[in-house]
Structure 1
Amino acid sequence: MFDTSGVLAQESPPADIIVLGKIVSACGLQGRMRVHPFADDPLSWSRLTHWWVGREEDALNLWRQTKLLSCQLRNGLLLAKLACVADRTAAEAISGALVGVPRAALPPTATDEYYWADLIGLSVRNTRDQSLGRILGLIETPANTVLRVGDGESGERLLPFVAAIVLDVDISGRWVRVDWEKDW
């Protein structure tokens, strides 16, 4: 899948990889790829010298570090060129892979800002102190980000991640308080 000349071997990749996006398709003949961003300010990723590439279905969670050669934002997607992807065939083969970086490479978040990876798994309780489940994931929509909350019994709820709904987030306490009824 990868041209090993551009990949830096890692026997034990960092456990704290923050997923930034997903490679969705090849772009042109030179090995550039379209990357769907999962976070704000994706153009700032172009200042990173290396990205890590891995696959969701990889049970061993093997991430490989590779040099970022170029990155630009176009129509909401990143067009990126990685040292491990030499041509269109290699770009097509890597389609579907995730890109990320170790947490240490990212800037600290401001007050009331969170990395999505920090929110996944947090317990969600409403203002009546009823459990709504845990955050399973997030969805980016044109209007706002949406929390996918599930409790394993009643399926999944979609809650807008906006100040009127999400009243408090406590990363260290591993919980989120929302203004949302259990039967909605």
Structure 2
Amino acid sequence: MAAKPDLVVIGAIAGAHGVQGEAKVRAFGDPAMLASYGPFLDETGEVVFTPRRARHSGGETVIVVFEEDTTREALLAMKGTLLYVPRAALPEPDEDEFYYSDLVGLAVEDAGGAPLGQVKAVQNFGAGDLLEITGPDGVWYLPFTKEAVPHLDLKAGKLVANPPEAEAAEEAGDGDA
């Protein structure tokens, strides 16, 4: 059995557009490039759709026509389906850039090097990117900002976290006299 390719989520089905089988796809990157990376895959690497044409419709939405026959009803039923492409199909990021998928699995440490957990996922619930971290105290979220993540080292496989709660405790004196 062949190894599953390294996959990156690049979008999600957002619904149907019109009645001719066109799909609205929310791009998780450059909308103009969404359809240029080849077939859209599922999380197992199987082809879901092959884009034939795409046009940017403003914001994060792209209207896509697929090679495969599909219906409005089928697309509506697939709303929220994540679309993947092989990592190798994407351009290499610049030196100080990375894909969010590169963050998953990184060790999380505090400024003193004490382990805090591991990055499970990158989430965005509408108010900015958050790192979902699993640690000894369960799951917690860290804003993905320069203040909260002052150091990121992909080669070493870790990041330094400065959680806002820790900052607030320091400013309050943490109850020490």
Q: Give, in whole Å, the separation in 2 of the partners of 1:66 and 1:28.
A: 18
Q: Would you identify which runs of 4 or more consecutive aligned residues in structure 1 move more than 6 Å? A: none
**How many Å apart are 1:115 and its aligned residue?**
0.8
Q: Which has the higher contact order (CA 8 A, sep 6+)?
A: 1
Instruction: Point out the structure with the larger helix share.
Output: 2
Residue number among 117, 122, 140 corresponding to 1:138 in the alignment: 122
Sort the Cα spacing of 1:42 and 1:54 in 2 relative to 1 into closer, same or farther, 3 A: same
2:138 maps to a residue whose letter is: G
Instruction: Give the secondary-structure state (helix, strand or coil) at the position aligned to 2:122.
Output: strand
Instruction: Give the secondary-structure state (helix, strand or coil) at the position aligned to 1:74.
Output: coil
**How many Å apart are 1:19 and its aligned residue?**
1.3
Residue number among 25, 31, 44 corresponding to 1:35 in the alignment: 25
Sort the Cα spacing of 1:51 and 1:183 in 2 relative to 1 into closer, same or farther, 3 A: farther
Larger Rg: 2
1:176 maps to a residue whose letter is: L
Counting matched residue pairs gives 166
Sort the Cα spacing of 1:108 and 1:162 in 2 relative to 1 into closer, same or farther, 3 A: same
2:91 maps to a residue whose letter is: P
Q: TM-score w.r.t. structure 2 length?
A: 0.78
> Quick check: 1:13–1:64 contact (8 Å CA) kept in 2?
no
**How many Å apart are 1:178 and its aligned residue?**
1.9
Q: TM-score w.r.t. structure 1 length?
A: 0.75
Give the structure 2 partner of residue 25 of structure 1: 15
Q: Give, in whole Å, the separation in 1 of the partners of 2:126 and 2:94.
A: 22
Q: Is 1:114 equivalent to 2:104 in the alignment?
A: no
Of 99-108 and 153-162, more deviation after overlay is shown by 153-162
Instruction: Give the secondary-structure state (helix, strand or coil) at the position aligned to 1:44.
Output: helix
Residue number among 91, 94, 97 corresponding to 2:78 in the alignment: 94
**How many Å apart are 1:45 and its aligned residue?**
1.6
1:42 maps to a residue whose letter is: P
Kindly provide the CA deviation profile for residues 91-150 of structure 1, in whole angstroms up to 9, marking residues without a partner as x: 234334221211111111112221111111111111022222111111235553211112
Q: Give, in whole Å, the separation in 2 of the partners of 1:96 and 1:18.
A: 16
Superposed CA RMSD in Å reads 2.7
1:45 maps to a residue whose letter is: L
Q: Give, in whole Å, the separation in 1 of the partners of 2:146 and 2:154.
A: 16
Sequence identity percentage: 25
Gaps of 5+ in 2: 170-177
> Quick check: 2:4–2:45 contact (8 Å CA) kept in 1?
no
Gaps of 5+ in 1: 1-10, 56-60
